[in-house]
Amino acid sequence: MILITGSTGKVGQQLVAALKAKGAAFKALARSEASLSALKAQGVEAVKGDLGDPASLKAALQGVDKLFLLSSASHFDRLEIAAIETAKAAGVKHVVKLSAQGASADSSNPLFRAHARAERALEESGLAFTILRPTFFQQNWVAFYAHAIKAGQPVYVNAGEGRMAWIDTRDIAAVAATALMEPGHEGLVYDLTGPEALGYVDVAARLGKLLDREVAYVPVSDAAAFQAMKGMGMDAWYAYGMVTLNQGVRRGMAEPTTGTVELVTGAASRTLDAFLQENLAAFQ
Ligand SMILES: NC(=O)c1ccc[n+]([C@@H]2O[C@H](COP(=O)([O-])OP(=O)(O)OC[C@H]3O[C@@H](n4cnc5c(N)ncnc54)[C@H](OP(=O)(O)O)[C@@H]3O)[C@@H](O)[C@H]2O)c1
């Protein structure tokens, strides 16, 4: 039995769909009553729980031998490290952790350092592990920028002219489902990317062509991005993580592509063009 955390998010929703399609035995952790009901309405076995509440996680882990671990809060490493300990005590054998491209204990990016701390804790736990390090999600365009694009406003990011090998979260989910359901993925770290590196300016131009109107990208300074994110209520730790993420993009950190999605799943990674075509309605 598999337990999925983050099941309502950009990766988790796709993992629920992938495991359902494969007929896997799994349950999904949900934090709110609304998420719990929505998952149950899809015919998914769902359990209430929060990574910040070890007792609820312990209860959710009853009968579970594999855990998909994902979280997104500030200082998420604390939640994940505690979850790894709870999982081990509950008899879980294998954890597949969603990390990020660039995770490193030496990084100046607090998000990358946090992922590295959780990765290290998992590796040292003695549990079987598989670590997924994806690059930027194609789904970010719907989650973060569609609102502005719909309203005819520019997309403002401090990414300069940096390019990223955007990945479809369905490909991350396909890799996760394979690692959770088939042997041979224990002890491995997978760098996951899409097939093509594109800058914000390239994506805006392609989207503009599909929508038959101008979609503008405006590169902004690190300080302007930091202040804007703090103004939206983001704490300094997370906002600095997002700013340094894009400093890395400007240095070319997110440009390299890997063939790891195909190596693991047998299917080539999905293109951003296909994603934009499929999700055009979100930008109109
Ligand atoms: N976006 C990117 O381009 C990108 C690239 C590489 C790596 N990543 C990594 O991907 C992860 C985020 O994945 P995502 O974008 O799929 O997530 P997301 O869409 O932001 O959703 C977060 C999920 O985590 C759940 N969650 C948050 N805090 C929780 C807690 N305390 N207990 C239980 N569940 C909790 C949320 O549940 P609720 O619905 O209840 O809030 C939701 O299901 C992060 O670790 C990030 O560093 C992101």
Whole-angstrom distance, CA of residue 284 vs CA of residue 210: 10
Which pLDDT value is given to residue 123? 98
- Is 5 a pocket residue for ligand 1 (Cβ < 6 Å)? yes
Q: pLDDT, tens digit, for every residue of 102-158?
A: 999 999 999 999 999 999 999 999 999 999 999 999 999 999 999 999 999 999 999
- Is 100 a pocket residue for ligand 1 (Cβ < 6 Å)? yes
- Is 247 a pocket residue for ligand 1 (Cβ < 6 Å)? no
- Which helix (H) or strand (E) segment holds residue 111: the answer is helix 110-124
Which pLDDT value is given to residue 32? 96
8 Å CB contact between 99 and 120: no
Residue 139 Cα to ligand 1 midpoint, Å, equals 13
Q: pLDDT, tens digit, for every residue of 40-85?
A: 999 999 999 999 999 999 999 999 999 999 998 888 999 999 999 9
Q: Which domains does the chain have, with CATH numbers?
A: 2-134+168-192+256-269 (3.40.50.720)
Residue 206 Cα to ligand 1 midpoint, Å, equals 27
Q: pLDDT, tens digit, for every residue of 202-252?
A: 999 999 999 999 999 999 999 999 999 999 999 999 999 999 999 999 999
